[in-house]
Structure 1
Amino acid sequence: MIFKENLFKDKSYVITGASSGMGAHAALMLNELGAKIIAIGRDENKLLTQKEQAKNPDDFITISKDLSNFENLDKWTLELAKEHGGFNGCVLSAGMGATMPLSAPNFANFGVKIFNINYFGNLQILKGLSDKRAKSKDGSSFVWVSSAAFKRPGAGLGNYAASKGAVVSAIKSFALEFAPKYRINAICPGLVLTPMINSEKTATGIDYDAIADSIYPLGMGTTNDTSNLICFLLSDASRWFTGQEFLMDGGGSLKF
């Protein structure tokens, strides 16, 4: 652990996508560093498993919710903030990804599904938290998980990359709207070993380990790598950062 003990003591954060992957790891790390966590995810059983692993389980509150049903999600988030007395920020990590070529018959419909989760669902959470009635604390920091794919997507990743590119564009506008009270930044990881990557390996037979070794000078990333950056961006040490996308790809972008 590179951060000082109880760095986030007396602070509270909403984490979407907290049942697995980068969101799950970030939620556990923040909790270990003293933060109260509102962990939101689709899989209730996985959320409860996360709670069992938390260093401070009493400060690890789980909520099962599907963000793809985003209508009125901002109002729901506003009420959540009122219930807990306001937050110090959030990590917007809920997402899905899959390869599908433009020639696929249901390409557009699948794109809507991806955008509903990767963009609009998280957007509504952010809208609720940034509402002045939510009483988010001065200096609150919001971190949205995008992807390195927005910059250089592979074949079949058109919908996924577009949804992540929307995040990078949107946070620049929101940063201007929020300043000076709040900050917002995006992290853009390359291949990170997560359950989603493991599922893709099983479904497609793609050897992501070999791909990572060939593309990234530093190899495939881990959820510990992404959580370290998330914690930095949520901390006061990053007080002069806003509206930025942080590309983290093990040096892969240097080869193109």
Structure 2
Amino acid sequence: MVTGASSGIGLATAIEIANHGGRVVALARDSARLADAMARLRGTGHSSVEYDLSDLEGIPVLVQGIARSMEGLDAIVHCAGLHSARPLASVEPTDIRRVMDVNVNAAIMLAKGFRHRQVQKVAPSIVLLSSSLGLVGQAGTSVYSASKGALVSLAKSLALELARQDIRVNAVCPGIVETEMTENLARTIGPQAFESIRLAHPLGLGTPQDVAATILFLLSDASRWITGSVIAVDGGYTAQ
């Protein structure tokens, strides 16, 4: 199950999983974009779910229902997320709640639904999409950075709590990749500021496929002894 599967890293992850023979449950809010995403998945047995993750109370039941329809889930990848780039002076409580609900609180509720034995298949795994800004700071992104930093801590805590059920939990921290969200960020902060961000990535900006490949590794048996890890996929941004 991939949240945020209609665009960006979520879409790239869904495509990567399907390309390697997995069945995907693609979850997103926009039905039209979700339909376009489904058309790009190879193989059969895929399904889509239109859902707004800000409806936190319904998430565990949703996960359990999807698991019944799929005869169990191998993994959940939480790629859905909201970005917030604004100075502290203009931050409102509604901004904080909106970002935290989708980025962090939904992740907690997804894990709560996934932890039930009847939901999981063999070697279950959760991958949370954090950000390089969950590891280092950046002016004007305090709310977003706080939410992504919370996912780093959440992955570690869930990894310890769910290890008794053999559920692995890891986080991936991408740098700036070329997505629609990045284009919106560039328009918000202006070309000069965005160029400085680009230059701060020693290997340049990445692609959604760069991140999806790491996520696929964390879902595979090749990572069977990895849990509670936080992997930066950022072209060297956080190495400085």
TM-score bin (small chain)? over 0.9
TM-score (norm 1): 0.88
CA offsets, 1:41-76, max 9 Å, x none?
A: 0111111111111122x3221111110111131122
8 Å CA contact retained: 2:135, 2:238 = no
Matched AA of 1:43: D
Contact 1:101 1:107 (C-alpha < 8 Å) held by counterparts: no
Match of 1:236 among 217, 221, 225: 221
Aligned to 1:42: 29
Partner of 1:210: 195
2:175–2:234 CA contact under 8 A, matched in 1 = yes
**Aligned match of 2:79 in 90, 93, 101?**
93
Q: Measure, in 2, the Cα distance between the counterparts of 1:83 and 1:254.
A: 43
Q: How far apart are residue 138 of structure 1 and its match? A: 2.7
Query: 1:21-40: CA deviations, max 9, x gaps?
Result: 10011001101110000000
Where does residue 5 of structure 1 map in the other structure?
Answer: none
Contact 1:142 1:183 in 2 (8 A): yes
Distance in structure 2 (CA, Å) of the matches to 1:226 and 1:74: 26
Please tell me whether the aligned partners of residues 209 and 220 of structure 1 are also in contact (alpha carbons under 8 angstroms): no
Once residues 122 and 137 of structure 2 are traced to their aligned partners in structure 1, the CA distance between those partners, rounded to angstroms, is 36
Superposition deviation, residue 201 in structure 1? 2.1
Unpaired runs of 5+ residues, structure 1, are: 1-13
1:98 Cα offset (Å) = 1.8
Q: Would the aligned equivalents of 1:185 and 1:242 in 2 still touch at CA under 8 Å? A: yes
Tell which deviates more after alignment, 221-230 or 210-219. Answer: 210-219
Question: How far does residue 213 in structure 1 lie from its aligned partner after superposition?
Answer: 3.7
1:160 maps onto 2:139 in alignment: no
Q: Return the letter of the residue paired with 1:92.
A: H
Equivalent position of 2:162 in the other structure: 178
Q: How does 1:7-18 map to 2 (within 5 A)?
A: 14-18=1-5
The equivalent residue for 1:24 is 11
- Taking only aligned residues, the RMSD between alpha carbons, in angstroms, comes to 1.5
Rounded to whole Å, the distance in 2 between the matches of 1:207 and 1:225 is 25
How many aligned residue pairs are there?
Answer: 239
Counterpart AA for 2:132: A
SS in 2 for 1:141: strand
Unaligned segments of structure 2, at least 5 residues: none
Mapping 1:104-253, distance limit 5 Å: 104=90, 106-134=91-119, 136-180=120-164, 181-206=166-191, 210-253=195-238
SS in 1 for 2:186: helix
Counterpart residue type for residue 154 of structure 2: A
**CA distance in structure 2 between the partners assigned to 1:202 and 1:211 by the alignment:** 14
Does the Cα contact within 8 Å between 2:178 and 2:207 map onto a contact in 1?
A: yes
Tell me the distance in 2 between the aligned counterparts of 1:99 and 1:109: 14
The answer to whether the Cα contact below 8 Å between 2:31 and 2:50 also exists between their aligned partners in 1 is: yes
State the shift of 1:108 in Å: 2.5
Cα contact 1:73–1:121 (8 A) shared by 2: yes
Q: 1:240 to 1:69 in 2, by over 3 A?
A: same
Cα offset, 1:207, TM superposition: 5.1
Evaluate the alpha carbon distance shift between residue 112 and residue 211 of structure 1 in structure 2; reply closer, same or farther with a 3 A threshold: same
